[in-house]
Structure 1
Amino acid sequence: MTDLSRVLPDFPIGRYANLLPTIEKHGLTTADLLTLQVPDIGRRTQLPLLDIKRLCAAVLGALHADLGVSDNQQWSSHDTESGTEGLTHTGTQLLVTPFRTISTLDDDLDRALGGGVPVDYVTEITGESGAGKTQLLLTLLLACQLPPPRGLGRPALYVSTEAPLSTRRLAQLLAHNPYLRSLTEDEDAPPKPSLDNIVGTVTPDLESQDHILTYQVPVEVARRNVGLLVLDSVAANYRAEFERGGLGSSGNNKNLAARSHELTRLGRHLHELARKHNLAVVVANQVADRFTGSGLNGTLKSSASIPQPFSLPRVSQESPLARRSKTLPLHITPGIDPPSSDTPNLPSSLRSSMPEPPPEDPPAPPALLLDHQQRWFTGWGDEYPYSPNPSISDQNLKTPSLGLVWSTQIASRISLYKRPVYGPKEVLEDQDGESTTTLRNWRRWMKVVFAPHVPGGGPGLGGAVEFEVTMGGLRGVDRKGKAKKNKENKKVDDEE
């Protein structure tokens, strides 16, 4: 099996030395052993079914151990309020596993995140600049020091690739957050978080980042019993080091391949830290504008508006599987049109034996297009272009940095969105005297794209929760409740 040592490095390969060469010969992967039925594997490999069954059970057990799923956990087929369900290899039973989380110190946001940020997993927080990523990370650094259920009662570690840790903002959160402020007023409350329990460091380049994460962070985590590791942001150094060279050049392709290898190694290292030390790993990620096919007229659409008379050429957004299905026929020479039977001055013998030109290749199925697939892991474009009424996320298409390779390394992705709120038009004191709109404020939303402990937020902003950034951190906004309350108050005033 070509990927067994990569997926499960500690798997005892020697016990199954008589099976693995045959399985590797037939191109079976670890995912095939976990998803295919034993008789199907037996028909392909001609191996004894009992031996295949034992190998599949051993791979599944090793995977459960690697994910931190113990043997004494509860098996159930009913829904519970204290756990999250997951299917076994046979798909007949449900595994109920309680998740420990770190709170955001706001009840509305905690409900949207299933209690907060999960422990033992790698969680990504992605969004535009100014969406509130750093504000959420700083709140988690303080909440981690609280006792359960809001925190872990352990210190936190902050690794920055851009700006140093903002101790001034942390002090503001301690002074103005309603929950943290109540700890000082209540004598029976747990100890208030402290800046002394937060360790911060800066990694200005990829070399120092790799050294700190590989050698210094594990020592510091073990010595201080760190419960939260924050990396802000994961994309800065990789984009600076690897995204160089012209498009289509061989050097750029080599850079992307090297970057994919380094991202895989980083994801595996962060996952090992989270599982081994029983901590939560949270990384911030940047976003970039995404150009996608409209699906209707073959033009492109981005977050910036494009004038109607002008359209960009169609860029292929197909997955490798879709491209693989479009192969050029062997009897067609690229760049030369095949002669047809109607071509004049051709001998009759050639006309009769000349093959007809093949029909034009049909378009790839929509399910194989990248525009269709990435709706479930980017957080933007959940409805576009399939909905006649696209949401705000579809009008401002973004994609998290580092691509699909990095998306496979994280267990949870939380997206933050923002939209400008403009005020009434005002006449400016200039030569033209034209009126314009003025920016008053920003509206922000938070949505779970995918996570192991809570369902995703769904298409658009329907499953997202609105929040605002205050002196005390992030605070959920219930506009429907406010509108209903204002309507009731107005009704009472009218009656009076």
Structure 2
Amino acid sequence: MPTRLAAKSFSNSREQLSSRSRANATPLWPMTDLLQVLPDFDAKPYTHLLPSLDKALITANDLLTLDAADVAKRAQLPAGELRKLADAVIAALHLQLGFGGEEAAVGNSFLSASGIPDAPNDGWTCISTLDEELDAALGGGIPRGYLVEITGESGAGKTQFLLTLLLASQLPPPKGLAKSVVYISTEATLSTKRLAQLLSSHPALASLPADEKPSLSRVLSIQTPDLESQEHILRYQLPVAIRKHGIGLVILDSVAANYRAEFEKQGAGNGAAAMARRGTQLVQLGALLRELARTEGITVVVANQVADRFTKAPSAPSSNAASRTTSTNSQGNQSASQGTDHDHAANPASQPAESIVLSADPLALDHQQRWFTGWGDSQYEQAHVQKTPSLGLVWTNQLACRIALKKIPVLSGSRPLIHTVNGQDQWNEQEESHISKWRRWFKVVFAPWAPPSEGRGVEFEITESGIRHVVKPEKK
């Protein structure tokens, strides 16, 4: 059985957190979103500037993009002081993102002078997926020092992928990091039975000598039932565990569950304020996880849920249901992201596909979603089966890499669910048929070390021995 991190009494922890916050607190002026963008920014040398910046409604974005003389004139402050503040903010942003020259490398053996994650021996250590095609799509695997997300609907294979990483990370380079792992669950408990099955049946693991095999005893697991315990564990307990147990991989499964439970239970009455608070917390979470990955030289992988996304034609009546997050593009089309974990179509299959259109405006969110959500390419997907990762653009901006796992049902005794006409995929209407199996694809949406996947990505399947790519038949 895996070792479990000791969950401390949170009654005393709340008092400790409050006392630490009061002791280390920097005056948080409403100015600005500066301490939301950079939660750990040391603002003490600049506290005499913040009230005036607040009064002049200067944001962090204004500080970085406008000329210092213009900002100084608006806020009635010395331009030289504002330049120092802007330089400090830029340096802090560079450090958080993992570059910044020699200053970023001081006190951090993991970063090289160029800011690129640097391993002691080969300079680039990755965690393998234990499948050559999936590794090729990732440019070799998942490297250290990054915050990576695996997103997909229920049953797409997220858990199987994460369990494989838990075992692969324990392998020696080049397939792993030869280190222990931490699995933090916000939903179901860790499936140790499935881990044992993979150990005994996966081709890359079963044949290893006993002293080289991954072990369940090197998997540390813990559950976080709410946001308060999650914050305490990630901020205080996790850094200690990383150093004490020699952790190389941290998995959070899933990142959206506690946020949905916390903010959706409040209902739609205070929606705007709740979204603002959630956005602030997501920025702080992203900064914390990136800092851990960068300074400790580990890999942080989070699983994320998806919601249905669809766009109605301009003639269709607009809907402002409380269970959807709706945005309007420049053409008047509305896109809605429905907050549910259930697998269901965004529109009935009987509805004509041509009545649902994505925006042709290149500046509209509906048009650009294909480059950051993993869905939205009309050449391979129909508009009424679009998905979007949970937590929105605020969370997307915290990630270094997003991997989308997709699935499409195959119906028995009839035509395939999707067929191609004139180079375009069409959705077939089916009657009295049932799903016989699922086809799944692995798609790299964006990553700084690998190009985005072409087309649908790499097709894979889930077997008793783990995940593996589907070998395509050779054309005669």
Question: TM > 0.5 between the two?
Answer: yes
2:443 equivalent to 1:447? yes
| Alignment counterpart, residue 457 of structure 2, candidates 450, 464, 476 | 464
Give distance in 2, aligned partners of 1:192 and 1:398: 38
TM-aligned CA deviation for residue 200 of structure 1: 1.1
TM-aligned CA deviation for residue 311 of structure 1: 12
2:433 equivalent to 1:437? yes
Q: Is the 8 A contact 1:125 1:413 kept in 2?
A: yes
Q: Is the 8 A contact 1:421 1:442 kept in 2?
A: yes
Q: Which residue of 2 aligns with 1:371?
A: 366
| Alignment counterpart, residue 113 of structure 1, candidates 124, 138, 141 | 138
TM-aligned CA deviation for residue 219 of structure 1: 2.0
Change in CA separation of 1:16 and 1:254 when aligned onto 2, cut-off 3 Å: closer
Change in CA separation of 1:201 and 1:308 when aligned onto 2, cut-off 3 Å: closer
Give distance in 1, aligned partners of 2:131 and 2:174: 13
Q: Percent identity?
A: 51
Q: How does 1:44-443 map to 2 (within 5 A)?
A: 45=72, 58-69=88-99, 71=101, 100-184=125-209, 191-247=212-268, 249-250=269-270, 252-294=271-313, 303-305=346-348, 307-308=350-351, 366-383=361-378, 390-392=379-381, 394-425=383-414, 436-443=432-439
Provide the secondary structure at the position in 2 that maps to 1:418: strand
Give distance in 1, aligned partners of 2:43 and 2:280: 24
In the TM superposition, what whole-angstrom CA distance separates every residue of 1:206-260 from its partner, at most 9, and x where no partner exists? 333333333322222221121111111111222122113554x23x444333333
Provide the secondary structure at the position in 2 that maps to 1:366: coil
Change in CA separation of 1:4 and 1:425 when aligned onto 2, cut-off 3 Å: closer
TM-aligned CA deviation for residue 199 of structure 1: 0.8
Change in CA separation of 1:191 and 1:58 when aligned onto 2, cut-off 3 Å: same
Q: Which residue of 2 aligns with 1:358?
A: none
Give distance in 2, aligned partners of 1:102 and 1:454: 14
TM-score, with structure 2 as normaliser: 0.70
Q: How many residue pairs end up in the alignment?
A: 391
Q: Is the 8 A contact 1:379 1:415 kept in 2?
A: yes
Q: Which residue of 1 aligns with 2:4?
A: none
Greater shift, 141-150 or 23-32, is seen at 23-32
Q: Is the 8 A contact 2:98 2:115 kept in 1?
A: no
Give distance in 2, aligned partners of 1:192 and 1:275: 28
Give distance in 2, aligned partners of 1:307 and 1:436: 14
2:472 equivalent to 1:476? no
TM-aligned CA deviation for residue 13 of structure 1: 5.3
In structure 1, stretches of 5+ residues that fail to align are 74-93, 319-364, 384-389, 427-433, 488-496
Q: Which amino acid aligns with 1:119?
A: R
Q: Which amino acid aligns with 1:376?
A: W
TM-score, with structure 1 as normaliser: 0.67
Give distance in 2, aligned partners of 1:457 and 1:310: 26
Change in CA separation of 1:220 and 1:378 when aligned onto 2, cut-off 3 Å: same
In structure 2, stretches of 5+ residues that fail to align are 1-30, 104-113, 119-123, 317-332, 337-344, 416-429
TM-aligned CA deviation for residue 367 of structure 1: 4.3
Change in CA separation of 1:463 and 1:131 when aligned onto 2, cut-off 3 Å: closer
Q: Which residue of 1 aligns with 2:111?
A: none
Q: Which amino acid aligns with 1:449?
A: V
Give distance in 2, aligned partners of 1:422 and 1:32: 54
Q: Which amino acid aligns with 1:231?
A: L
TM-aligned CA deviation for residue 176 of structure 1: 1.6
Change in CA separation of 1:25 and 1:140 when aligned onto 2, cut-off 3 Å: same
Give distance in 1, aligned partners of 2:127 and 2:384: 32
Change in CA separation of 1:50 and 1:156 when aligned onto 2, cut-off 3 Å: same
Give distance in 1, aligned partners of 2:373 and 2:413: 34
Q: Which amino acid aligns with 2:94?
A: H
In the TM superposition, what whole-angstrom CA distance separates every residue of 1:155-175 from its partner, at most 9, and x where no partner exists? 000111221111111111111
Q: Which residue of 1 aligns with 2:32?
A: 2
Give distance in 1, aligned partners of 2:46 and 2:471: 57
Q: Is the 8 A contact 2:151 2:404 kept in 1?
A: yes
Change in CA separation of 1:115 and 1:206 when aligned onto 2, cut-off 3 Å: same
In the TM superposition, what whole-angstrom CA distance separates every residue of 1:295-338 from its partner, at most 9, and x where no partner exists? 78769896332655999999xx99xxxxxxxxxxxxxxxxxxxx
Provide the secondary structure at the position in 2 that maps to 1:483: coil
Change in CA separation of 1:71 and 1:404 when aligned onto 2, cut-off 3 Å: closer
Give distance in 2, aligned partners of 1:96 and 1:241: 37
RMSD, matched Cα: 3.9
Give distance in 2, aligned partners of 1:293 and 1:96: 44
Change in CA separation of 1:131 and 1:471 when aligned onto 2, cut-off 3 Å: same
In the TM superposition, what whole-angstrom CA distance separates every residue of 1:9-68 from its partner, at most 9, and x where no partner exists? 5656577789888877776655566667xxx55566579999887766554443332233
Q: Which amino acid aligns with 2:464?
A: M
Change in CA separation of 1:34 and 1:177 when aligned onto 2, cut-off 3 Å: farther
TM-aligned CA deviation for residue 109 of structure 1: 0.4
Change in CA separation of 1:222 and 1:276 when aligned onto 2, cut-off 3 Å: same
Q: How does 1:11-30 map to 2 (within 5 A)?
A: 30=60
TM-aligned CA deviation for residue 440 of structure 1: 2.4
In the TM superposition, what whole-angstrom CA distance separates every residue of 1:112-150 from its partner, at most 9, and x where no partner exists? 112222322221111011100000000110111112222
